[in-house]
Structure formats: structure tokens, C-alpha cells
Amino acid sequence: MYRLRNRLIAAFVVSTILPLAASIWIASSLLDRSLGYATTGEVDRLSRTLEGTVRQFYQRERESLKLDATAGRVAPTHFAVADQSTWPEPVRAFWDSGEAERFGVSGPGGDHLDFLRKGTRGVEVFSRDLGGIHMRELSAEFGRTRALVGSIASRDLRRGFTLTLLLLIALVWLVSLVPLMFIAHRVSRPIQQLTAGLTDFAGGDWDRRIETSRSDEVGHAVAAFNHMAEQLRTNRDRIVYLAQMSSWQSLARKTAHELKNSLTPIRLTVEEMLARQPTADRAFMEQAAQIVVSEIESLEGRVRAFSEFASDPPVRPESLDVNTLVTERIALLKPAHAATTYHLRLDADRPRVYAGADPVKGILTNLLENAADAAGPGGTVLTVTRAAGDHIVIEVHDSGPGLSDQAAETLFEPTITFKKHGMGLGLSIARKNALVSGGDISVVDGQLGGAAFRVTLPAVGPKVRRHASPKPHGGDGGPEGSRDGS
């Protein structure tokens, strides 16, 4: 599941390893060259040479001083045994050493050479200026130089520099890998979610959606998936509904046919029975026959409704002015519901739909009549029209008691009625007509406290205008006609 992320990381690794290796190789080569210029060897040789030279000088000065002292050319400083407590430390150390004579340096920085000789009365110290040569300082500098040479000799600088370089580069590389892994995870995660969503959706989870807050290409892909899933689910529901309707229509057609076949002979037989009855029982028989015929007529009415429900009249889509249709339907219904108040909130742009005139009229008649029935005398019916993208919305609200949850669930199923009159097929037919026209009907929250239905129908668009042919019936003469027609 992490293949994309791993590939991104692998791409980074592959694309950085070669430049890194080249950088290391170049740095190592430069390092090698720079170490080749190191002067440690020269310093080593020079210090040894200087040491030998200074030692020769020192030995010569020693011999010279001793000769001068022996020849009496240099006056000694006497340190008497009687004054031993006042002797300087070098003199006392020499006296205690058991040596007969000793040389040493004295003075600031060791710029004097001393020759110490034991005598019978004490110690004689012959001293000579070394002409500004500071032996102690030379000794200290020699020691520092040798320490430096020794320190370098005890190290493999090439290895040290190379390992340090490798270590630092590896550290930087690893540190840069951490944010890359984070970024790779961030980039691949929504794609991973999208893949999982598509897999689930393909597996039958029609409610699967993906949440994202991104606005880049991946975010657009996720939004497109969500939209596509919603569209597919809606269309699936519509197809299922239409399939159910088709089954119900088939059943209604057969039932109507069978009932009609039975009802006609029954009616004729009853009438014949009435005609052949003696005069004495005629009054009773006429009354009985009237009851039977009345029930048969009622059954025939239902059969007609079934037949109408089962019929699939051809739909001829055309450009229709919705506002005009709504106004016209209300004007037709008003006489039957004189005590009902009708409010209109119609879109001023006079929206037009591309649908069959008869189905749309049927839908509006059904919804408005239902609303008027539900609102009752003194009630109110509100009709709203407006454009919504590439669809036109028509809403019918009533001030009636509203719909129960049970009613809302089975509202569009045929043969179910909650009214005293009617067959309970009207809403089923209305929704079927809406679906066939490329729209739908749904229940929405009512603005008047009662029920409310929303009809969506395809708006007239450029494509429709281009392909549709003008129709003389029910509209304004076709999609190319004036919006002010009808």
C-alpha cells in the first residue's frame, strides 16, 4: 500500500547517491592533494638539524668555557661551604650530586652557560654569556615542534578527514531523508486514500467518500471522486426506482386487463338479471343492481387509474417557461380550492426547462393539488422557481400537517395513499416523469410548516438549443423560441 511513497524515497536515494559519491570522490582527491603539500616532514627534518647544530654550539661553548676556566681566563664565583645555606638551588644540587663538575644554563631564557666545579672550599661557578642565544627558549621551542611532529605522526589525517567527510555527508543526507519521507507520505497518502476509496466503491460501498482539505491536483482528484461517487449513487437510485416502477407498471397493466375482463361480463349479467326479474321484486332488484353497478364503476375507475399508471406515453422534450406553467396550473386548480391562498415566488429571469410539456404539467398538477388538499381551506401553498446550475428547481410548500417519517419513506411507492380520495399513484407517476425528463423529485424541509417537494428539471442550455427541434405543443414553439412565450 506504500508503493508510491517508497518509490518517491527510492527516487530520492537513487538521484542523490551518484552526486554524493562524485562529491566524496572529488573532496577526497582534493584532500589528498592538500595533504601532499603538508610540511610536517620538512619541520621534522629541520627541527632535527637545528637540534644537532645547537647541540654542537653548546658543546663547543662548554669546551671553550672549561678551557678558559682551567687556564684562569675566566673568573669564577665562589660558593663557600660555610655559606651553604645561602647557595642557590642549582649549586646545592650539584654539591649533593657527587659529581666533580657540571654544566648548566642560567640567566633569562638560559642565555648564560655555567661551569660548576667542586673545590676544597666549596663550589666554583664559571659563567659565560652565550651572545643572546637563549638555550631554555630553544629547548622549549624544540619541544613544542617535536610535540607537533609527534602529534601529526600519531595520526592518519587522510583517514580522519575522509571519515569525517563521510560521516558529515551521511548525517546531512540522513537528515534530509527525514523531511523527504514526511513529504512523500503527505503526497502519497491522499492518492492511497483515493485508491482505497475507489476500491471500496467498486466493491459496492456506494456511500464511500474521501475527506480532504487540499486544493492541489490531488485535492481536485479527490473532489472529482466524491462528485462522481455521489452522481453514480444518485443515478443508481434513480435507475432502481425506474426499474421498480417498470415492474409495478407491468403488474398494474395485467391487473387492469384481468379486472376489466371480469367486470364487463359481471355488469352485463347484472343488467340482464334485472331485465328478466318479475315485477313484484323489481324495486328491490333495481336497488341491489344499482349497488353492484356502482361498485363495478368504482372498480372500473381504479382499473383506468392502473391503466394510466401502466402507460408510457412518448415524451417530446421542448423549451418550457416554468413560471408560465406554474401560473397556468394554479389558475386551473383555484376554482376547486377557492379557500386556499396561493403564493408565488418566481424567478424573475423566467427560467426555462427542457422537458416534455405533458409530464411537467402532470407533475405540477399533482404536487399543487396534493399541497392544496394538505393545506385545506384557509391554508397556504407557496410555489418557488429558481435556477440552480444546469437545472431548474421548482418547490411546492404547503401549510398542512406535514409528512410522517413513515410517509416520507414510502411516499413515491405506488398504490400507497394517505388521502381519503385518490389511488396513491400520483406521486409515483410524477417522480417517474421527472426521472424520465432528466430530473427528480425529492422531499425537502417545508417553509410553511407542512410538506414540501422539490422538482429538478434540466435547464435549457446551449447544447439543448442546438439539437432540439421546435415543438408547437405546450410551450413557446420550441427551444429556440422566446423566453417570454407561452
Partner 1 sequence: MLRVRSGFGFIEGAVMDQLRDGRSVRVDFALTVLHAPRGSMIAEARQSFTLSFDVWEERIAVTRIGAPTRSVSHLRPRDAEAWCLESLAVARSELSQLTRDTPFWIRLEYTLPDVVSDSEADETLTIRRLIDVLSRRPKDVETGKSVESGPFRLSD
- Residue for cell digits 513529504? 183
- What is the DSSP pairing of strand 380-388 with strand 341-345? parallel
Set of cell numbers at residue 157: 589525517
Nearer to partner 1, 96 or 211 (CB): 96
Sign (positive/negative) of CA torsion 214, 220, 225, 231? Answer: positive
Nearer to partner 1, 161 or 173 (CB): 161
Q: Which of 376, 370, 394 is nearest to 451 (CA)?
A: 370
How many CA atoms, within 13 angstroms, populate the side-chain half-sphere of residue 187? 13
Positions that interact with partner 1 (CB under 8 A): 51, 54-55, 58, 93-94, 97, 99, 102-105, 135, 139-140, 142-144, 146-147, 149-151, 154-161, 163-164, 167-168
Cα dist. 12→169, 176, 178, 442 in Å?
15, 10, 11, 53
The least CB distance from residue 135 to partner 1, in Å, is 6
Three-class SS string for 256-307?
HHHHHHHHHHHHHHHHHHHHCCCCCCHHHHHHHHHHHHHHHHHHHHHHHHHH
The least CB distance from residue 90 to partner 1, in Å, is 8
How far apart CA 397 and CA 395 sit, in angstroms, is: 6
Which residues on adjacent β-strands are paired with residue 456? 393, 440
Nearer to partner 1, 135 or 464 (CB): 135
Can you say how many angstroms the Cα of residue 213 is from the centroid of all Cα atoms in its chain?
A: 5
The least CB distance from residue 119 to partner 1, in Å, is 19
Is-contact 128 104, C-beta < 8 A?
Answer: no
Is-contact 111 132, C-beta < 8 A?
Answer: yes
Nearer to partner 1, 140 or 339 (CB): 140
The least CB distance from residue 117 to partner 1, in Å, is 14
The least CB distance from residue 201 to partner 1, in Å, is 55
The least CB distance from residue 65 to partner 1, in Å, is 13
Is-contact 455 394, C-beta < 8 A?
Answer: yes
How far apart CA 242 and CA 428 sit, in angstroms, is: 10
Q: Which of 426, 306, 439 is nearest to 369 (CA)?
A: 426
Nearer to partner 1, 99 or 258 (CB): 99
Nearer to partner 1, 144 or 343 (CB): 144
The least CB distance from residue 75 to partner 1, in Å, is 24
Nearer to partner 1, 53 or 294 (CB): 53
The least CB distance from residue 32 to partner 1, in Å, is 14
Q: What is the DSSP letter of 76?
A: P
How far apart CA 215 and CA 457 sit, in angstroms, is: 31
The least CB distance from residue 98 to partner 1, in Å, is 11
Nearer to partner 1, 62 or 189 (CB): 62
Nearer to partner 1, 60 or 220 (CB): 60
Nearer to partner 1, 89 or 405 (CB): 89
How far apart CA 207 and CA 197 sit, in angstroms, is: 10
The least CB distance from residue 29 to partner 1, in Å, is 18
Nearer to partner 1, 58 or 241 (CB): 58
The least CB distance from residue 116 to partner 1, in Å, is 10
DSSP per-residue letters across 345-387? E--TT--EEEEEHHHHHHHHHHHHHHHHHHH-TT-EEEEEEEE
